[in-house]
């Protein structure tokens, strides 16, 4: 299927079908769409992506409401409304599959197979199709059939066991990190599979991709694995402190907090000089990073004797001047108006046909020749059904019968 876009990208010419709900699948395809792929989001007209009903909402011109999170997570995509449980909807979907390069789905394992749309069935129709499945716990194994939301993956992966303060209640990472990383891994695996398919040794054939929230979360335990597999020690919550080096954490100031990372000889020397701490620099317990980490509680207490007498901005200014890595802890009101991000044009407005401009988070992937695409906000349900189905041979009469009252 050919599709013209206002801005070509690295994946221009690649067509992706998404059967995605909530976060992991749609976040994966958002990355692919940002990179230029055509992403067609297929939703059940009677039970669309639940994110559509997640607030807060943007007010449309006709008093309609549009999910603000959906408008960002599903930017640069098209929407086709099909009931895959109906014979007519399934047939229409198969026509789309025949011309697609990629399918990304994040339904419960087995759901697609029960619809007759599993990877083996679709490979017979389209041998070049890359079939990517994102799920809570993977496509097989004892946990595969369980519902897997981000917080369950954070719990089982160990992330919640090391997040928070040492004596506090269990805390999850503030963003749905397992969902998001699973989406990133899925997008990366898709690009790798496409590359392999299009090489001579790939023989033009696609493959299956299985990415789980659980394994995505466990893959992040680099320091914890280094500790456990070397010594048997199990990681515990450390607040903002680093697992192996010091000082590398948030320290208290007179009016807030500042993060510091003085873990090399140069930056440690700089911190001691900037905060006028010659006695710490001379203390043999703090001569190297291992020693500082072994005594980090005492060390931070001493550092805070200096920082609590100063405003956070003054601490940052002094440490910046000394070349010591540091940063204030910003809230999102500060982040979304940050001068540095604004200067780099990170935030941008995507046009929504009913709600107007919708502010977007930029793509962190900055490519000099094929920059990330900046197209439309998340589409209305079924907004592109007629255009897309017309491309695969449906007549107006056939689309009337298939779509009924769902077509916009």
Q: Please list the active-site residues.
A: 179
| Placement of tokens 């500042």 in the chain | 258
* Helix runs in 14-143, H state only: 24-34, 68-73, 87-98, 111-114, 119-125
Cβ-Cβ contacts under 8 Å for 29 (sequence gap 6 or more): 16, 18, 20, 37, 39, 41, 77, 104, 187
Instruction: Concatenate the DSSP letters of all residues of 111-156 into one string.
Output: HHHHTT-SHHHHHHH-TT-EEEEEESS-SSSTTTTS---HHHHHHH
Three-class DSSP labels, 329-385: CCCHHHHCCCHHHHHCCCCEEEEECCCEEEEECCCCCCCCCCCCCCCCCCCCCCCCH
Rounded to an integer, what distance in angstroms lies between the CA atom of residue 399 and that of residue 59?
Answer: 30
Residue 21 backbone zone (phi > 0: left; psi -120 to 50: alpha; other: beta): beta
Cα–Cα distances in angstroms (integers) from residue 190 to residues 97, 113, 364, in the given order? 16, 20, 18
What is the rounded distance in angstroms from the CA atom of residue 109 to the CA atom of residue 97?
Answer: 19
**Please, how many CA atoms are within 13 Å of residue 136, restricted to the half-sphere of its CB?**
20
Q: Which of 346, 341, 363, 360 is nearest to 68 (CA)?
A: 360
DSSP 297: H
Structure tokens at 356: 């107007």
Collapsed DSSP state (helix, strand, coil) of residue 268: helix
* H or E element that contains 208: strand 208-212
């Amino acid at each position: 299927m050919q599709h013209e876009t206002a801005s070509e990208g690295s994946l221009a010419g690649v067509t992706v079908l998404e059967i995605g709900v909530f976060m992991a699948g749609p976040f994966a395809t958002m990355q692919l769409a940002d990179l230029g792929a055509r992403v067609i989001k297929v939703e059940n007209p009677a039970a669309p992506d639940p994110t559509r009903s997640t607030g807060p909402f943007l007010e449309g011109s006709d008093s309609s409401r549009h999910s603000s999170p959906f408008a960002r997570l599903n930017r640069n995509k098209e929407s086709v409304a099909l009931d895959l449980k109906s014979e007519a909807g399934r047939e229409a979907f198969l026509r789309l599959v025949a011309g697609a390069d990629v399918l990304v789905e994040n339904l419960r394992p087995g759901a697609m197979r029960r619809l007759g749309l599993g990877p083996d069935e679709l490979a017979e129709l389209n041998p070049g199709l890359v079939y990517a499945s994102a799920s809570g716990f993977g496509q097989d194994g004892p946990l595969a059939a369980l519902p897997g939301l981000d917080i369950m993956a954070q719990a089982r992966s160990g992330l919640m066991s090391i997040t928070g303060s040492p004596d506090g209640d269990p805390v999850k990472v503030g963003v749905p990190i397992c969902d998001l990383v699973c989406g990133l891994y899925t997008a990366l695996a898709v690009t790798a599979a496409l590359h392999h398919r299009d090489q001579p040794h790939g023989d033009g054939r696609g493959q299956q991709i299985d990415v789980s929230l659980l394994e995505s979360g466990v893959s992040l335990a680099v320091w914890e694995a280094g500790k456990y597999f070397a010594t048997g020690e199990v990681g515990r919550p450390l607040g903002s402190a680093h697992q192996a080096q010091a000082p590398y954490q948030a320290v208290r100031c007179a009016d807030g907090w500042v993060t510091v990372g003085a873990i090399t000889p140069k930056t440690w020397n700089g911190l001691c000089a900037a905060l006028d701490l010659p006695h710490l620099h001379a203390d043999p317990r703090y001569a190297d990073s291992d020693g500082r980490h072994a005594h980090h509680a005492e060390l931070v207490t001493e550092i805070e004797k200096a920082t609590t007498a100063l405003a956070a901005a003054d601490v940052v200014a002094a440490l910046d001047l000394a070349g010591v890595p540091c940063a204030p802890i910003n809230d999102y009101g500060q982040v979304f108006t940050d001068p540095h991000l604004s200067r780099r044009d990170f935030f941008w407005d995507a046009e929504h046909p009913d709600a107007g401009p919708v502010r977007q988070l930029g793509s962190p992937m900055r490519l000099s020749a094929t920059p990330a695409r900046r197209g439309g906000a998340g589409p209305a349900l079924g907004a592109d059904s007629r255009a897309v189905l017309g491309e695969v041979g449906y007549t107006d009469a056939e689309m009337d019968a298939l779509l009924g009252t769902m077509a916009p």
